[in-house]
A and B are shown apart, each in its own frame.
Chain A
Amino acid sequence: MSAVVGVVVFPGTNCEIDTIEAVNNLGGIGRIIWHGDDDLSGVDAVIVPGGFAYGDYLRPGAIARFSPAMNAVSRFARCGGPVVGICNGFQILTEAGLLPGALQKNNGLRFICEPVLVRVESPDSILTREIEAGSELTIPINHFEGNFTCDSYTLAELKGEERILFRYVDNPNGSIDNIAGICNSERNVIGLMPHPERACEELLGSSDGAILFNSLLKSL
């Protein structure tokens, strides 16, 4: 039976259709989770997609985390359910306390929208288990606040527990230690700034993102 991937939609989310398309094309079933709903029954994994939830007012992710859907996602994550935050979804997961650190404005004060090379650092996650460590993927980024930061204690913990899943080969935004994506200590909650759903077909310039979605779907 195909795995059901819930894709959470807030006012201002704009990557949900691409995400659903990527999941469906790879044999999964993408299902929209409206921000006002707090029911995740029948869902095998959750993706919090990119966009500008609640207009990024106050801070990216600051308001989205109070929605009924995010309460359900937090409960789902704490029970071991796989949760992936992409771009604005990553920002929301840090604001919700499901991932450490924060995403600050890019160095250089530029909104960056371009394909970047991302190195997979650990195959020990639901998103990377089909990929060898050291593999380099071409995946686009599309953000203004993608510069990951955290205190030195958290950084040491992320490194020590091999929770840095993705690093930029050529750091585009000033992220500490070139971090592009991390996971929590239980490894079921993942956040990454690059958009794999925008790199699932050669027609779009790269299909490397499909490897990540395949990995996720195979692990469900």
Chain B
Amino acid sequence: MRFSVLVDIQLREGIADPAGSTIERVLPVLGYEGISDVSVGKTIRFEIEAVDAASARVMVGDLTDSFLTNPVIERAQLSVELSTSGSSS
């Protein structure tokens, strides 16, 4: 089975997010008020072959902990869904 994966990586609480705070600081200049808690992270998307959703999640979890994130400063939310790309084997 083929799954579409989205890994949403954000900085952990307490880790400086100068990009987020810089964006937040300029928003009032552009006339946008009432916006807070801006954080800048990154998303990584890929397709993965696995026997079922559970094993896909285990693989993606391992990959995320060991490579895609640095757990000292980052945390991730994972989304693993059956692929609709049509190239499934």
Q: Is A59 an interface residue (CB 8 A)?
A: yes
Q: Is A202 an interface residue (CB 8 A)?
A: no
- Give Cα distance in the complex from A149 to B11, angstroms: 12
Q: Judge whether B18 and A102 touch: CB under 8 Å.
A: no
Q: Judge whether B72 and A174 touch: CB under 8 Å.
A: no
Q: How far, in Å, is A42 (CB) from chain B's closest CB?
A: 32
Q: Is A109 an interface residue (CB 8 A)?
A: yes
Q: Which residues of B contact A149 (CB under 8 A)?
A: 15-16, 72-73
Closest to A107 in B: B16
Q: Is B79 an interface residue (CB 8 A)?
A: no
Q: Judge whether B72 and A151 touch: CB under 8 Å.
A: yes
- Give Cα distance in the complex from A174 to B73, angstroms: 15
Q: How far, in Å, is A179 (CB) from chain B's closest CB?
A: 14
Q: Which residues of A contact B46 (CB under 8 A)?
A: none
Q: Mark A176-200, 1 if CB is under 8 A from B, else 0.
A: 0000000000000000000000000
Interface residue tally for chain A (C-beta within 8 Å): 18
Q: Is A160 an interface residue (CB 8 A)?
A: no
Q: Mark A78-110, 1 if CB is under 8 A from B, else 0.
A: 000000000000000011000001101111110
Closest to B71 in A: A102
Q: Is B22 an interface residue (CB 8 A)?
A: yes
Q: Is B55 an interface residue (CB 8 A)?
A: no
- Give Cα distance in the complex from A203 to B72, angstroms: 40
Q: Is A62 an interface residue (CB 8 A)?
A: yes
- Give Cα distance in the complex from A101 to B72, angstroms: 7
Q: Mark A56-74, 1 if CB is under 8 A from B, else 0.
A: 0011001000000000000
Task: State the 9 A-B residue pairs at the shortest beta-carbon distance, nearest first.
Answer: A109-B18, A102-B72, A102-B73, A102-B70, A105-B18, A104-B73, A109-B22, A59-B70, A107-B16
Instruction: Give residues in B with beta carbon < 8 Å to A.
Output: 11, 15-16, 18-19, 22, 67-68, 70, 72-73
